[in-house]
Amino acid sequence: MRISEIIEGLDGMELSSKLMLVEDIWDSIARDNCELPLPEWQKAELNQRYIEYSHGEMKLHDWKSVHDKIRNKYS
C-alpha cells in the first residue's frame, strides 16, 4: 500500500479510530525497534552530561519549575 492511499483512507476515519491507529503504529515501532541506535555524537554527549551530573557540575531543575516556566512563557 502506498502512503498516498493510506492518507486518503485517513480522511474518512473518525478521530477515535485515528487515535487507535496511531497507538497501534507506535506499538509496532516499539516492537520492531526496542533499542534505537544512537549516533556516536549523541552517546558522547550523554556520557559527558552524566559525568557532569555525577560530579555535581550540572544545575538541575525539577519538572514542576520547568513546566511552570514553559506555561508562563506561552500563556
- pLDDT tens-digit series, residues 52-63: 999 999 889 999
| Amino acid residing at 42 | Q
3-class DSSP state for residue 50? helix
Residue 21 burial (10 A CB sphere; 0-12, 13-18, 19+): middle
pLDDT tens per residue across all 75 residues of the chain: 788 888 888 988 999 999 999 999 999 988 877 677 889 999 999 999 999 999 999 889 999 999 999 999 998
DSSP 56: T
Question: Do the Cβ atoms of 13 and 21 come closer than 8 Å?
Answer: yes
What pLDDT, on the 0 to 100 scale, is given for residue 48?
96
What pLDDT, on the 0 to 100 scale, is given for residue 37?
83
